[in-house]
Amino acid sequence: MDTKSESSLKKYEMRGQQMLEAIERTRETMRSKKFDTIAVHGIYNAEQALLHNQGSIIEPAYLSAAQHYENSDHLEVALAYKMPSWAYSRIANPTVHYLEETIALMEGYGSEEKVSSSVFASGMSAIFMATNPFLTNPERKAINIVVSARCYGGTFMLFNERYGRERGIDVRWVSDPLDLDAWTSLIDENTRFLYGEMPSNPSLDVIDIPALSVLAHHHELPFIVDATIATPALLRPIELGADIVIQSLSKTMASSGFAIAGAVSAKHHITSRFGDDALKENFAQYIKLLPARDHGPSLSPLSALMILNDMRTLRHKVDVMSANTATAAAFLQQHDAVESVHYPGLEQQPGYATAKAQMRLVDSPTDENRYGHLLSFTVKSGAVGARRVLDGFSMIWRGTDLGRVKSVANIPSISTHQQQGEQGRELACLPDNLIRLCVGHEDVDDVIADLEQGLTLA
Ligand SMILES: *Cc1c(COP(=O)(O)O)cnc(C)c1O
């Protein structure tokens, strides 16, 4: 290599260093802001706009599949990951980057930890990317994972079928996730991680994140939490001790319903007895730069922009929709045709105290508890009655969707949880007379009138 090229490489490395420092300064500035300010701006400021984006006030959608470089030295330094660059949209993209930085600030809000986020093409791909790196097993040892059985149907299938049946990983289900002894008894020296959902979809079970984090760390294991149903507006698991957080961005984070996406957020220096230093130091960045590059679950920049746009008003939407849901839960609870109601905000629920301790509307002046906008209920008239009620709604949409500004209802046993079979549903506590309801941003009186109308057919 000639000396001219060497000094030019150094020049690009130095520029890379300066760019990284500038991003870190912006993150630092934004960390001191309130949640709504973070949600509105992320790291996209006047400097980003003027220096890189022709002054555009809104983050631009970078639809180009790839990036042009100044010369071969620039290309070489960038592709060695020695300067921030995006190269090719499967690896990174500027619009996607603005979304990732905003989510990292939201998930890290109120915490001392540094947090990074990576986004992927769906919530399921985020769960795969967050868990698969811990399951590397070249020596073909008998490895296991310890998982709350009260989880999303897709997660159940990924763990049970793809990991368990196809790869021979021992999936140890915890049937009552509030039972700490049950978790403890399933952990051994071949366990790779603990995994739980808070609150769970669709059974609305809760977990004690601080207690399970302590338990996981005692065994030098990472604790992974899917907090999709809560969103960072109500719950930030990293602040409570968890290592890694999953969001299906397809749900409440993008409540307009214009995109499918998922996020993995991780604190820096996660606890794990397994994996090399790079994996542990900055897990979210590690999975983006290495395994995700090779698996390829990249997010479309247009979807990234749709989600970014929705997230700006997250706290207010979650506040209104949670209040509506609490009202609907109280209505259902006193209705003669209803057998039981599951909602973390109901005092009779076994997990009520645990939910109350963890779920709060961020930056609420009165430190208000809010419990999200998902509930489920069973009807006294069984599976057939549940179908009659669902079919009787005239405004509430029927579908597997949730997290919307529009109310949507569903029967999990015949839809989202159909494929896990009767045994799997029993494990997850999903009877066939259960209706899942996600209350939207309508006037709650109109939602209740529609519920009333459906329930008269029960
Ligand atoms: C929907 C959902 C997922 C999967 O997300 P997709 O974006 O649909 O792939 C994971 N976890 C929970 C709790 C969900 O509700």
- Rounded CA separation 230/252 (Å): 8
Length of the chain: 458
Which amino acid type is present at position 104? A
Residues β-bridged to residue 335: none
Bigger pLDDT: 426 vs 2: 426
pLDDT score of 1 more than 60: no
CA of 55 to the centre of ligand 1 (A): 36
If you take atom 5 of ligand 1, which residue's CA is the nearest one? 123
Residues β-bridged to residue 398: 409
pLDDT score of 2 more than 60: no
pLDDT, tens only, 36-84: 999 999 999 999 999 999 999 999 999 999 999 999 999 999 999 899 9
If you take atom 9 of ligand 1, which residue's CA is the nearest one? 123
pTM, whole model, 2 decimals? 0.96
How far apart, in Å, are the Cα atoms of 111 and each of 32, 115, 195, 246, 247? 11, 9, 21, 17, 18
User: Is residue 248 lining ligand 1, measured as CB closer than 6 Å?
Assistant: yes
Residues β-bridged to residue 19: none
Which amino acid type is present at position 151? C
Residue among 198, 201, 205, 417 whose CB has most ligand 1 atoms within 8 A, to mutate: 201
At 3 the pLDDT is: 59
pLDDT score of 418 more than 90: no
Residue among 248, 258, 260, 417 whose CB has most ligand 1 atoms within 8 A, to mutate: 248
User: Is residue 152 lining ligand 1, measured as CB closer than 6 Å?
Assistant: yes
* Closest to 442 (Cα-Cα) out of 328, 332, 310: 328
Eight-class DSSP state of 254? G
If you take atom 7 of ligand 1, which residue's CA is the nearest one? 123
| Cβ atoms of residues 172 and 186 within 8 Å | yes
Lowest-confidence pick of 68-72, 428-432, 451-455: 428-432
Pairing mode, strands 223-226 and 244-248? parallel
At 122 the pLDDT is: 98
| Sign of the CA dihedral with 369 first, then 263, 136, and 276 last | negative
Which residues, including other chains, have CB under 8 Å from residue 206's CB and lie 6 or more apart? 177, 178, 198, 199, 200, 344, 351, 354, 355, 358
List the Cα angle 363/204/297 in 5-degree steps.
80
| Cβ atoms of residues 227 and 247 within 8 Å | yes
Map tokens 């301790």 to a residue: 357
- Rounded CA separation 365/383 (Å): 43
What integer best gives the mean pLDDT of the chain? Answer: 95
CA of 163 to the centre of ligand 1 (A): 18
Determine what percent of the chain is predicted with pLDDT higher than 90.
93
Residues β-bridged to residue 397: 408
When pLDDT is averaged across residues 212-221 and rounded to a whole number, the result is: 98
151 CA: nearest ligand 1 atom: 13
Lowest-confidence pick of 344-358, 399-413, 427-441: 427-441
Query: Tokens for 251?
Result: 């749900």
CA of 68 to the centre of ligand 1 (A): 35
